[in-house]
């Protein structure tokens, strides 16, 4: 099964998006911390589409296009 990249390995645009949402209070700080801890646990994710609920936000995974 695929795994989520480490927190430090996430693209800068993803980090900035999360910071921006936190600043406008669309993401609660405790929920963002739960995301960080989940990522640090090196989680496996399904091959297909998936989502995970963190309370004030959800993250979604979509497999890359196969050319």
**Mutual angle of helices 12-23 and 29-40, in 10-degree steps:** 150
pLDDT at 67 exceeding the cut of 50: no
pLDDT at 66 exceeding the cut of 60: no
pLDDT at 64 exceeding the cut of 70: no
**pTM for the full predicted model:** 0.68
- Domain boundaries in the chain? 7-61
Burial class for 27, CB neighbours closer than 10 Å (0-12, 13-18, 19+): buried
Helix residue spans in the chain (DSSP H): 12-23, 29-40
The whole-number average pLDDT for the span 32-45 is 88
């Amino acid at each position: 099964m695929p795994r989520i990249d480490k927190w430090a390995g996430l693209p800068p645009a993803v980090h900035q998006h999360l910071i921006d949402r936190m600043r406008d209070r669309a993401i609660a700080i405790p929920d963002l911390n739960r995301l960080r801890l989940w990522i640090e646990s090196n989680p496996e994710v399904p091959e297909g589409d998936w989502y995970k609920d963190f309370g004030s936000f959800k993250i979604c995974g979509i497999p890359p296009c196969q050319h």
